[in-house]
A = this chain, B = another copy of it.
């Protein structure tokens, strides 16, 4: 049975919002998880005693939060869904769309998270994983000659960081690093940062990555940390001269590094 809903202006939520919250806590109370099916629309209409439109709006609210997915047809219905990283990234991105973030702000965080990640991974990666990282590196074995090549290389380097994060056993660290990498990638797309090829950035980038891989393979955590700390310092310095304020956009979800 769904939690009762006080119909007489309980706080200030619209009915669909109340229904959405009620369903949410109902799901939690019953211990339902990803893949489990919610009662059908018709059922919900009956249980909550509300019109179809109201119930549908409630479902849409949950869907927008990434908590459920619905399918039509027999065997269809509304299903509890694990919030995807893409959805979480998009939703959090909406928040920062309205915040005034600077390059300094972002790099202040990167400068502590990335070295921490590197240190945590040292000696923990399989040979397969290390190979995969080397693979990405080959994407910029040549210095960029055009702004477009530069942009592509920068995105590849961000993908390198995202892959590294993917290998972390810490879901929080993983999400944060990937989220930040996505924000930065988004900027290069929308603002054409790096208008001119920057040979210095390329050289330092390639160099640090090979040294990092060596340190990771050797299991030298302090060295891995130091390498990434230096690199972040360098990348920060090089980015700062080009732009100080990040312009953001709404992320339509889906495009993720």
List residues of A whose CB falls within 8 A of some B CB.
16-17, 20-21, 24-25, 28, 34, 53, 56-57, 60-67, 82-83, 85, 87-88, 91-92, 94-101, 104-106, 108-109, 112-113, 116, 120, 170-173, 175-176, 180, 249-250, 252
CB contacts (< 8 Å) of A65 on chain B: these are 64-65, 91, 94
Known: A24-B250, A65-B91. A172 touches B106 (CB 8 A): yes
7 A-B pairs with least C-beta separation:
A88-B95, A64-B64, A99-B171, A61-B64, A82-B98, A112-B112, A83-B95
> In the assembly, what is the distance between CA of A82 and CA of B97, in Å?
9
Is the pair B57, A21 in contact by a Cβ cutoff of 8 Å? Answer: no
Q: Can you list 25 pairs linking A and B with CB atoms under 8 Å apart?
A: A21-B252, A53-B53, A56-B57, A57-B57, A62-B64, A65-B65, A66-B95, A82-B98, A83-B94, A83-B95, A87-B95, A88-B94, A95-B175, A96-B171, A99-B172, A100-B171, A101-B172, A105-B171, A106-B172, A108-B116, A108-B170, A109-B116, A109-B173, A112-B113, A176-B176
Is the pair B92, A92 in contact by a Cβ cutoff of 8 Å? Answer: yes
CB contacts (< 8 Å) of A112 on chain B: these are 112-113, 116
Q: In chain B, what residue has the closest Cβ to A89?
A: B95
> In the assembly, what is the distance between CA of A97 and CA of B28, in Å?
10
CB contacts (< 8 Å) of A250 on chain B: these are 24-25, 28
> In the assembly, what is the distance between CA of A68 and CA of B120, in Å?
41
Chain A: interface secondary structure? helix
A68 to chain B, nearest CB (A): 11
Q: In chain B, what residue has the closest Cβ to A100?
A: B171
Is the pair A101, B171 in contact by a Cβ cutoff of 8 Å? Answer: yes
Q: In chain B, what residue has the closest Cβ to A90?
A: B65
Known A-B contacts: A56-B57, A67-B94, A95-B175. Give 16 more (CB < 8 A): A16-B60, A17-B63, A28-B249, A61-B63, A65-B65, A65-B91, A66-B94, A92-B92, A96-B172, A96-B175, A100-B171, A101-B172, A109-B172, A109-B173, A109-B176, A112-B116
Q: In chain B, what residue has the closest Cβ to A102?
A: B170
Is the pair A97, B83 in contact by a Cβ cutoff of 8 Å? Answer: yes
CB contacts (< 8 Å) of A173 on chain B: these are 105, 108-109
> In the assembly, what is the distance between CA of A193 and CA of B85, in Å?
28
A66 to chain B, nearest CB (A): 7
Is the pair B60, A64 in contact by a Cβ cutoff of 8 Å? Answer: yes
CB contacts (< 8 Å) of A176 on chain B: these are 109, 176
A79 to chain B, nearest CB (A): 14
